[in-house]
Amino acid sequence: MDTFYVVTPVIILAIIILAASIRVLREYERGVTFTLGRFTSVKGPGIILLVPIVQTMNRVDLRTLVVDVPTQDVISKDNVSVKVNAVIYFRIVEPSKAIIQVENYLAATSQLAQTTLRSVLGKHELDEMLSERDKLNADLQEILDNQTDAWGIKVANVEIKHVDIDESMVRAIARQAEAERIRRAKVINALGEQEAAEKLVEAANALSKEPQAMQLRYLSSLQDIASDKTNTIVFPFPTEFTKMLKISND
């Protein structure tokens, strides 16, 4: 009986110690282990045995993590106030650095993304923010990836979700777009007039070289006039008559 009271607490204590020593890590998890506060190794996946009290472990998720960057107030290069938010996709590639080099890699990455977003977009004009979003995403991804490399983090992608501007600025952009359309229409019309004038000059030069061609053109004009339903017909005055009158006067 005495043996029972002695053995039972020992068994219970052994079970508690064993339970505290066993860790199960999933395929996408790694365990950063420390022995008496000193980094030992990165373990996993599978069953991990730890020495209670002596060893501790921090779990690290290796899957791609998604962090929303809160809306930031940005002043563009052309002094336009906009509100911009984004989303970051990143993953841990070196679990030991993510635990040792930074206190909270999620919070640190989010804060870094906010300051980088304001800094990068502040160097660009509003038109670039709206039309060159892919380029801005690539710039943000490169900067964040370089700065988080020391934390064992790989930034896979950065996407700017929304660029919100004031209603007054929306109206100004609409007026600017309308003015641009009118300008293009005038340019196209002017180019058309210029091309038509050049063709008329070419045609006049070609007709002036052949008098017979000019007569044929007169006859063609008469045919066009005759087919028109009008009471007045204007006959073109041949240039030969002018020459004949000039000779007779001389």
What is the Cα–Cα distance from 207 to 215, expressed in whole angstroms? Answer: 9
pLDDT of residue 231: 54
Of 64, 57, 65, 66, residue with least CA distance to 25: 57
pLDDT band of residue 223 (cuts 50, 70, 90) is low
Answer whether residue 169 shows pLDDT above 90: no
Q: Assess whether 157 and 134 both reside in one domain.
A: yes
Q: For 72-90, how does the pLDDT look when each residue is reduced to its tens digit (9 = 90+)?
A: 888 888 888 889 999 999 9
Query: Which pTM was predicted?
Result: 0.64
The DSSP line for 48-65 is EE--TTTEEEEEEE-SPE
Q: For 38-64, how does the pLDDT look when each residue is reduced to its tens digit (9 = 90+)?
A: 999 999 899 888 888 888 999 999 999
Answer whether residue 2 shows pLDDT above 80: no
Q: Which residue has the higher pLDDT, 196 or 134?
A: 134
Last residue of a domain, one of 165, 193, 221: 165
The CATH number of the domain holding residue 88 is 3.30.479.30
CA atoms within 13 A on the CB side of 43: 19
How confident is the prediction for the chain on average, in pLDDT? 81
Q: Assess whether 49 and 16 both reside in one domain.
A: yes
Please give the average per-residue pLDDT across 91-120, as a whole number. 93
Last residue of a domain, one of 108, 131, 165: 165
Query: What is the domain range of residue 194?
Result: 171-249
Please give the average per-residue pLDDT across 155-175, as a whole number. 78
